[in-house]
Chains A and B, each alone.
Chain A
């Protein structure tokens, strides 16, 4: 940190360096989250054939719903990118609007996923049915839980943005959120490929 002359610019600098520190910390948090998903994927890889004679991925998964989910989540990643553009242009209203669109898409994704789970459970394929389904619900469910947490966070940020506008702090927060959202997208692509595509093939 250089030695600033006036107290104001000094304060400003101290703050800014704290904000960039928080972005770095968030990246490392993402690394740990990748490890969490990596471990869950490994468990799924070991257990996905352990159906104990019950139906496997091929019999259970309905691809149209999953493809719709994928499409929705990819679109939401795009709209969160548009939100970032608005942020950099300093347009609060636009930013909040794009975040709202992103949130609606995220909620639609969760709705579809819950629907998929409910249908499976009603047919009698529960988390307790066999090891394959345990691994499936846990892996996909953990991703879904992450999306839900992202939604709550997004709403909290929309409120903060409408109150405070674009500041150093809110900029950092939106940056982290968008990082998180893209990360969930990437994880979903792996889920889609490993669980669904390779499952039904």
Chain B
């Protein structure tokens, strides 16, 4: 008996590594601290009522923001571990298999559990406000999406201390990811972590598509809609078309591992290339799903801080929609070297290069907007300016990779690593950070400190170039990706070592940049400049027309829109002395909080955990619980209520009193 328990524990808990013991201790201590603080300050009911059961899109957005910043930390630590290991030849910091696990979790976390939720955070915090709407189309579903994401992310992260991490790369190519090559549970954590959060992402795509199509304020025609909302529309459409493919692909991989099916195996008729095609049919659009909203953010920021209308609004809209279509026809550029015919490669090479054109159009539109504008270099603008050169270089190296014959040279080299980090960090991370700084006062009611922000910006930016520029050279010098160490011969004689060392220094500079941001946020919570106007930047769109932070119903009176840049127009009218017509308040229809999304996601977590360990006694009750929650929702009819007029009056008086 005792022996059995010991044996079980030794396979169940990952042991034998100081990093993991450290993580264990950290997890236990943090959990105890959280429980203690909540109990001591009697915050359990507050947490439950205000956050866990909330259906308010603004609160859901804040929770996404916190979770994604935590995941940025985890993914960043992974990155630093890898760069430390590669700093010098023959380093003994990480073992080969450990290195595999680290690059896998780093890639997966950064894209699916950092970039996606950070993007959803901004969707939630901004889109309804920009549209002049009181809510998203399906508030209940929205909360469910968040909790599914969080449970998926927790499941994935748990693999570090329980059972073992996945180590077949962030896209899990078979046969590496099949039972034959990865018999442990790590791969199952990958499948279920992503599957559960992926369902949430798909639901978010549907939610925001309908929100944008149907919830706009009266008078806001599509072509009067702010560009960030357009970018969300484009991204949501891509989510709707790409994520079902991911769902199926992961499900088939699971069937291979769980029921011994033969979709992607090497024997009995399976076809691993089928997986590679499927995963990139999702994976390539995924890259555009995360980058297009960044384009939307830059458009808002550039217009606001140049005090000008965006240049080429229509061409911006058109190019975003074009990108969202063409991105579905480029997936094979990820495997030019895997033996497709020349014609196939030519098709995908050309379609890839075509995407460069609308992207170029956008960059010129931003530049023309700034041209002769009254530019203020605030923090959001700083990140936007940092983005432009970074993205231009990243785009250029991308076109180099799209030249199919040349790809035989760069394929899976450090040149590729440098390229995609340039686009992902320079485009996605810088973009979302610009968005975070831009909308932060709207969400929290205070600005983030400028001085600390500048430090963070320069650390990130200089660190970025120091880290990734040498990697282009390393790629040409023959260093391949996913290499965990190199000998003194390549290191010193071929000259890899100095470049790698420089690169590692750059990575740590970015780490320092992140620390500055944490400092900046905690400092500004106490001392940051309060936003009393609701419109700290002189904004142009509707979210700036209401107090910061917005009341739970957003708009006391539905705005009526006549032009684009609707709030700018109102301000111009006011300056001319045109008074807005007096309006009568009416009761506001709001959704009620619900515990079902949270409980249902917990059941998904239980089911996922059961499947990871092949424990049907756990997986089946989990699934039954999920079904039960759905039925419970179907049978609940009392799901909304009205905020009476006097309560709105009181809230507004309090907010405006503070505002004016």
Contacts and interface: CB of A to CB of B under 8 A. Distances in A.
Contacts of A134: 255-256, 261-263, 270
Contacts of A3: 586
B637 A132 contact: no
A99 to B, nearest CB: 15
Contact of A35 (B241, B255, B260, B558): B241
A169 interface: yes
Given A31-B240, A36-B244, A156 B635 contact: yes
Interface string B253-296: 00110011111010111110010001000000000000000000
B274 A43 contact: yes
Contact of A43 (B202, B209, B252, B265): B252
Interface residues of B, number: 47
A128 B261 contact: yes
A22 interface: yes
B206 A29 contact: yes
Nearest to B275: A43
A85 B429 CA distance: 53
Given A25-B137, A164-B637, A32 B206 contact: yes
Interface string B583-607: 0001101000000000000000000
Contacts of B483: none
Interface in B197-235: 202, 206-207, 209-210, 213-214, 218
Contacts of A28: 206, 209-210, 240
Contacts of B251: 138
B190 interface: no
A138 B637 contact: no
Given A29-B206, A50-B269, A138 B261 contact: yes
A28 B214 CA distance: 13
A151 B138 CA distance: 25
Contacts of A114: none
A201 interface: no
Contacts, number: 118
B245 A130 contact: no
B274 A47 contact: yes
Contacts of B207: 25
A27 to B, nearest CB: 10
B631 interface: yes
Contacts of B209: 28
Given A21-B137, A127-B261, A128-B261, A50 B244 contact: no
B270 A131 contact: yes
B642 interface: yes
A156 B632 CA distance: 10
Nearest to B244: A35
Contacts of B259: 127-128
A152 B244 contact: no
Contact of B210 (A25, A39, A128): A25
Interface string A119-136: 000000001111110110
Contacts of A129: 268
A111 B278 CA distance: 33
Nearest to B627: A152
A40 B248 CA distance: 7
Given A43-B252, A47-B271, A156-B631, A131 B245 contact: no
Contact of A39 (B244, B262, B265): B244
A94 interface: no
A168 to B, nearest CB: 11
Nearest to A173: B634
B319 interface: no
A93 B56 CA distance: 39
A131 B244 contact: no
B244 A132 contact: no
A15 B210 CA distance: 16
A92 B214 CA distance: 31
Contacts of B213: 24
A47 B270 CA distance: 8
Contacts of B278: 39, 43
B189 interface: no
B247 interface: yes
B587 A10 contact: yes
Contacts of B240: 28, 31-32
A18 B202 CA distance: 20
Contacts of A33: 244
13 contacts: A7-B587, A32-B240, A39-B278, A43-B274, A50-B270, A52-B262, A128-B260, A130-B262, A131-B262, A131-B270, A134-B262, A138-B251, A138-B255
Interface of B: 137-138, 141, 202, 206-207, 209-210, 213-214, 218, 240-241, 243-245, 247-249, 251-252, 255-256, 259-263, 265, 267-271, 274, 278, 558, 586-587, 589, 627, 631, 634-635, 637, 640, 642
The 3 closest A-B pairs by CB, nearest first: A50-B269, A131-B269, A128-B260
